[in-house]
């Protein structure tokens, strides 16, 4: 009897080793996602890529039948060639669990304005053979693919969420071959953009424009911050694409800085753009003061023909190439400061535009660098560019250079600075280009400045 039991036991063990229960070929999609799904990223537009926690699921021990469960009862001795013994109940599910250890988790930003890029991200855990994951969205109750993503060596993945301009709740999932993450949702709310001129002179008409993504043909309005409270100003309607343009009328006749926002009444509720400011400047403003050493830190040195005590610093407004009013600085000889200011005012009123008007100290008095930057300037104690033996007329504070990029200078060696683009071809339609009928040429020559046209197009001297 004892011998019979031993034979049966050995046969049973051999059967378990030679014919294990096969792993499940198609893991069930109902396998629950890992409970460690990532929370909303603090910056979902560029989601972080933290290293996921390494999970090592316990390897299920092989199910070996015991003597008590496999040996036949004493009254039924086993034959010499015992039939195969089925694995005990519970063995096969344990092996399937080991095969279906791959899990996928996914997350989204939760809520995002329409029109802004957003991501889905997550991990494919314990899926070493997965080289690509499929992304799907729920459309009319059916899952529809919209892209794929490749996890990195840690299993982490990201993919841009579609429907960027479609307002509403969107549902997604990530997976492969029947293994899917739990569905994740992204709520797209109307997103309102707003852009304006930034700075405008008092009295000039200006606008704000933008798009209310997800809110076509809806009421749109501006609000201005007055005494700490938002007050409605202008109203309109977005077009079929959600675009709008509205006038900014508050403060149009008074210099100052005003804070605005744009609101839209969408089908999903009222939403606002980020705040923005409009700076109203006087149509023309200028101040003249005595130059101090800090104004000419790099443009003056001992031995120059004139020093700070003989110079004046003019701070005045000008209109740049985009039409925005800016404030610039010009340092000139004191006895011509008034007429220089008046000439620039006349040119401003005539619509003339200036690339920029920055203190030459910004370039450490390097005139070649200033010309390349299209800077308008005056006093600069230096030698003539291309002639190191002669002092420039700018050293006396009686010369002004205006828009050198469109009005180049020919050095003694024949080279044009900053380029020869407008050396001989002088189309009057080019913004900032000086010509006989230019408001700046008329204003300067009327006040006794000589224009060195033909070879030093940007240079005026008195």
Q: What pLDDT does 343 receive?
A: 98
User: Could you tell me the two tokens for 209?
Assistant: 């424009």
65 in Cβ contact with 137 (< 8 Å) = no
Q: What pLDDT does 100 receive?
A: 55
Whose CA is closest to 110, among 192, 40, 181, 34? 40
Q: What pLDDT does 325 receive?
A: 82
Q: Is the dihedral of CA 438, 442, 445, 447 positive or negative?
A: negative
**Looking up tokens 């600075």, which residue turns up?**
417
Q: What pLDDT does 357 receive?
A: 98
Whose CA is closest to 421, among 57, 432, 84, 137? 432
Q: What is the DSSP letter of 26?
A: S
- What proportions of the chain, in percent to the nearest 5, are helix, strand and coil? 15, 35, 50
Is residue 457 classed exposed, middle or buried when 0-12, 13-18 and 19+ CB atoms within 10 A define those classes? buried
Q: What pLDDT does 390 receive?
A: 87
Parts of the chain belonging to CATH 2.60.40.10: 2-188, 191-281
63 in Cβ contact with 88 (< 8 Å) = yes
Q: What pLDDT does 51 receive?
A: 37
- Can you tell me the distance from the alpha carbon of 187 to that of 167, in angstroms, rounded to the nearest whole number? 7
Give whole-number Cα distances, 384 to 392, 402, 454, in Å. 5, 16, 17
User: Could you tell me the two tokens for 165?
Assistant: 């301009």
Q: What pLDDT does 85 receive?
A: 36
319 in Cβ contact with 353 (< 8 Å) = yes
Question: How many Cβ atoms from other residues are within 10 Å of residue 93's Cβ?
Answer: 12
Determine the topology of domain 2-188 in CATH. Immunoglobulin-like (2.60.40)
pLDDT in tens, the chain (462 residues): 333 333 333 333 333 333 333 333 343 333 333 333 333 333 333 333 333 333 333 333 333 333 333 333 333 333 343 333 333 333 333 333 334 589 999 999 999 988 889 999 999 999 988 899 999 999 999 999 999 999 999 999 999 999 888 888 999 999 998 899 999 999 999 999 999 989 888 888 999 999 999 899 999 999 999 999 999 999 999 999 999 999 999 988 888 899 999 999 998 889 999 999 998 887 788 999 999 999 999 999 999 999 999 999 999 999 899 888 889 999 999 999 999 999 999 999 999 999 999 999 999 999 999 999 999 999 999 999 988 888 999 999 999 999 999 999 999 999 999 999 999 999 999 999 999 999 999 999 999 999 999 999 999 999
> Quick check: bond before 201 cis, omega within 30?
no
Backbone angles phi, psi at 351, to 5 degrees: 90, 5
Strand partners, 31: none
Q: What pLDDT does 66 receive?
A: 35
Whose CA is closest to 150, among 174, 133, 129, 175? 133
User: Could you tell me the two tokens for 249?
Assistant: 């009328």
- Can you tell me the distance from the alpha carbon of 122 to that of 371, in angstroms, rounded to the nearest whole number? 53
Q: What pLDDT does 8 receive?
A: 30
User: What size, in residues, is the chain?
Assistant: 462
Q: Is the pTM of this model over 0.75?
A: no
Asked: is 191-281 a CATH 3.40.605.10 domain? The reply is: no
366 in Cβ contact with 338 (< 8 Å) = no
């Amino acid at each position: 009897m004892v011998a019979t039991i031993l034979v049966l036991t050995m046969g049973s063990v051999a059967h378990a080793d030679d014919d294990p229960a096969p792993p499940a070929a198609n893991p069930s999609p109902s396998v629950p996602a890992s409970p460690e799904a990532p929370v909303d990223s603090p910056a979902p537009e560029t989601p972080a890529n933290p290293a996921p926690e390494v999970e090592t699921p316990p390897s299920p021990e092989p199910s070996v039948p015991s003597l008590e469960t496999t040996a036949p009862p004493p009254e039924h001795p086993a034959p010499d060639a015992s039939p195969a013994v089925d694995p005990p109940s519970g063995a096969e599910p344990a092996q399937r669990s080991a095969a279906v250890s791959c899990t996928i988790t996914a997350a989204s930003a939760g809520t995002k304005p329409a029109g802004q890029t957003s991501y889905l991200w997550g991990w494919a855990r314990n899926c070493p053979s997965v080289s690509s994951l499929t992304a799907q969205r729920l459309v009319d109750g059916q899952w529809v693919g919209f892209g794929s993503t490749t996890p990195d060596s840690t299993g982490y993945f990201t993919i841009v969420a579609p429907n960027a301009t479609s307002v509403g709740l969107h549902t997604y999932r990530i997976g492969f071959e029947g293994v899917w993450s739990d569905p994740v949702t992204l709520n797209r709310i109307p997103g309102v953009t707003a852009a304006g001129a930034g700075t405008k002179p008092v009295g000039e008409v200006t606008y704000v424009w933008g798009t209310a993504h997800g809110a076509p043909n809806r009421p749109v309005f501006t609000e201005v911050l007055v005494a700490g409270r938002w007050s409605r100003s202008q109203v309109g309607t977005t077009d079929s694409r959600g675009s709008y343009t509205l006038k900014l009328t508050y403060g149009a006749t008074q210099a100052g800085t005003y804070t605005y926002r744009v609101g839209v009444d969408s089908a999903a509720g009222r939403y606002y753009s980020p705040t923005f400011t409009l700076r109203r400047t006087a149509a023309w403003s200028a101040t003249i003061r005595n130059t101090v050493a800090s104004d000419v830190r790099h443009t003056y040195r001992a031995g120059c023909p004139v020093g700070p005590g003989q110079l004046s610093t003019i701070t005045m407004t000008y209109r740049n190439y985009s039409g925005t009013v800016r404030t610039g600085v010009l340092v000139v000889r004191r006895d011509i400061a008034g007429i220089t200011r008046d000439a620039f005012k006349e040119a401003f009123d005539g619509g003339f535009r200036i690339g920029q008007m920055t203190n030459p100290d910004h370039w450490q008095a390097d005139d070649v660098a200033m010309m390349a930057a299209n800077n308008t300037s005056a006093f600069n104690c230096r030698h003539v560019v291309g002639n190191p033996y002669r002092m420039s007329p700018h050293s006396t504070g009686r010369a002004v250079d205006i828009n050198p990029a469109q009005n180049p200078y020919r050095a003694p060696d024949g080279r044009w600075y900053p380029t020869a683009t407008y050396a001989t071809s002088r189309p009057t339609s080019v913004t900032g280009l000086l010509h006989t009928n230019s408001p700046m040429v008329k204003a300067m020559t009327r006040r006794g400045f000589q224009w060195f046209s033909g070879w030093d197009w940007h240079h005026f001297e008195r």
